[in-house]
């Protein structure tokens, strides 16, 4: 028997619809401002924005010169966030990211320690070429990404809200790099692959960016409004069908769960955080596209960016020339049935 609607639930629904429509208008403005500066790359912009709207972090992977850094700085401007950038290098130390304690001396000669905050104290942190830093420095960023605070000399310092890390990684240069540990990769809500632009977009890049005046993006919303939209996304209803589809897809990507292709090709699969990420990002994608509830299409479209950095292939599968993306595409085809 269906649940009877009371005036309160109708009021809640109408308030939810009104909030969603206001958020839709803001997201449309955000998209318009970003498109003034970033040409083409709709999928990249969408997935990066989905990570932020869902309250998470994103890893942007692509060769140099594809406007990864420009996208992050543009998003900082458009979303009205306080942004910092760190260029990761092998000699970067944890204190270069987190901050350091300095000794102060007052007029009476008394000495005390004072904490100088590092660049991690920003609402949007760009970690450029994150795999160039040593594991010790990467792990300093890990606590910030997961716990939204840092600990220095036993003292806890909370990071600003919202706090998002957008990290970039160059897939070509692997000499002198430290691959990100699986635990840290899992902290990224999704991995955004940045490919070469389409012909029309590249033509526009040539024409728009080599003159005297370049287009600039303007701020559209602020941090408080972004937090409101993030809260709204967490309140969006998800149907049982979509929940089951998420569970089924994530579990089918793990060996030993009855999927013969996965058992053959996958060494280890995604953990529960992949399902949580899909639940959040599917809602954000629905809102991004003007819908009030996520569909199976959202789950299938997000499978690759959410699963690919959370699983690894067997040696035999790699020797056959398979990629993680091939395996995920196969799982999505099975899910669509």
Query: What is the tens place of the pLDDT at every residue in 115-151?
Result: 888 899 999 999 998 888 888 888 888 888 888 998 8
Q: Would you list the DSSP string of 99-156?
A: EEEEEEE-TTS-EEEEEEE-TTSSSEEEEETGGGS-HHHHHHHHHHHHHSEEEETTEE
Q: How many CB atoms lie within 10 A of CB 98?
A: 22
Nearest to 59 by CA among 159, 186, 168, 184: 168
Q: How many CA atoms lie within 13 A of 68 on its CB side?
A: 26
pLDDT at 3: 45
What is the pLDDT of the chain when averaged over all its residues? 87
308 C-beta neighbours (distance < 10 Å), count: 20
CB 215 within 8 A of CB 208: yes
Q: What span, in angstroms and rounded, lies between the C-alpha atoms of 40 and 203?
A: 10
Window from 8-17, 18-27, 181-190, 280-289 with minimum mean pLDDT: 8-17
- Reported as a pLDDT band with limits 50, 70 and 90, residue 175 is low
* Tokens describing residue 208: 């728009």
pLDDT of residue 2: 45
Length of the chain: 337
Measure the CA–CA gap between 49 and 233, rounded to whole angstroms: 13
In this prediction, residues 276-283 reach a mean pLDDT of 95
What secondary structure, in 3-state letters, does the chain show? CCCCCCHHHHHHHHHHHHHHHHHHHHHHHHHHHHHCCCCCCHHHHHHHHHHHHCCCCEEEECCCCCCHHHHHHHHHHHCCCCEEEEECCCCCCHHHHHEEEEEEECCCCCEEEEEEECCCCCCEEEEECHHHCCHHHHHHHHHHHHHCEEEECCEEEECCCCCEEEEEECCCCCCCCCCCCHHHHCCCCEEEECCCCCHHHHHHHHHHHCCCCCCCCCCCCCHHHHHHHHHHHHHCCCCHHHHHHHHHHHHHCCCCCCCHHHHHHEEECCCHHHHHHHHHHHHHHHHHCCCCCCCHHHHHHHHHHHHHHHCEECHHHHHCCCCHHHHHHHHHHHHHC
Name the region of 161 (left: φ>0; alpha: ψ -120 to 50; beta: rest): beta
The span from the CA of 247 to the CA of 286, in Å, is 18
Q: Say what the pLDDT of residue 173 is.
A: 64
Q: What's the pTM?
A: 0.88
Mean pLDDT, rounded, for 234-258: 92
| Cα dihedral: 73, 76, 82, 87 (round 10) | -30
End-to-end alpha carbon distance in the chain: 30
In this structure, what token pair is assigned to residue 109?
């000669």
CA-CA distance, 22 to 29, in Å (whole number)? 11
Kindly report the number of other CB atoms within 10 A of residue 147's CB atom: 12
User: Tell me, what's the pLDDT at 258?
Assistant: 82
- The tokens describing 160, both together, are 């600003």
Predicted local confidence at residue 308, as pLDDT: 92
Structure tokens at 213: 């005046």
């Amino acid at each position: 028997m269906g649940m009877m609607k009371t005036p309160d639930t109708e009021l809640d629904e109408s308030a939810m619809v009104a909030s969603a429509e206001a958020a839709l208008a803001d997201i449309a403005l955000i998209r318009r401002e970003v498109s003034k500066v970033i040409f083409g790359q709709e999928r990249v912009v969408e997935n990066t924005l989905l990570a932020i709207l869902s309250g998470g972090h994103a890893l942007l992977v692509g060769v140099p010169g594809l406007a990864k850094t420009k996208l992050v700085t543009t998003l900082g401007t458009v979303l009205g966030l306080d942004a910092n950038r760190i260029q990761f290098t092998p000699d970067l130390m944890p204190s270069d990211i987190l901050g350091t304690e300095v000794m102060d001396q007052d007029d009476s000669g008394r000495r005390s320690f004072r904490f100088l905050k590092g660049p991690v104290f920003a609402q949007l942190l760009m970690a450029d070429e994150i795999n160039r830093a040593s594991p010790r420095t990467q792990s300093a960023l890990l606590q910030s990404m997961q716990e939204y605070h840092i600990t220095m000399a036993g003292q806890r310092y909370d990071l600003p809200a919202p706090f998002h890390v957008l990290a970039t990684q160059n897939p070509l240069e692997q000499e002198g790099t430290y691959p990100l540990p699986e635990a840290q990769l899992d902290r990224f809500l999704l991995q955004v692959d940045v490919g070469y632009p389409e012909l029309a977009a590249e033509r526009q890049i040539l024409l728009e960016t080599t003159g005297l005046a370049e287009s600039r993006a303007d701020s559209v919303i602020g941090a408080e409004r972004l937090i409101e939209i993030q809260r709204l996304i967490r309140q969006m209803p998800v149907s049982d069908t979509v929940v089951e589809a998420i569970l089924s897809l994530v579990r089918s990507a793990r060996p030993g769960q009855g999927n013969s292709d996965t058992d053959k090709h996958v060494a280890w699969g995604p953990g529960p955080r992949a399902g949580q990420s899909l639940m959040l990002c599917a809602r954000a994608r629905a809102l991004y596209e003007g819908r009030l509830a996520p569909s199976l299409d959202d789950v299938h479209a997000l499978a690759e960016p959410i699963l690919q950095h959370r699983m690894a292939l067997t040696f035999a599968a790699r020797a056959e020339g398979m990629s993680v993306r091939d395996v995920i595409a196969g799982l999505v085809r099975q899910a669509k049935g």
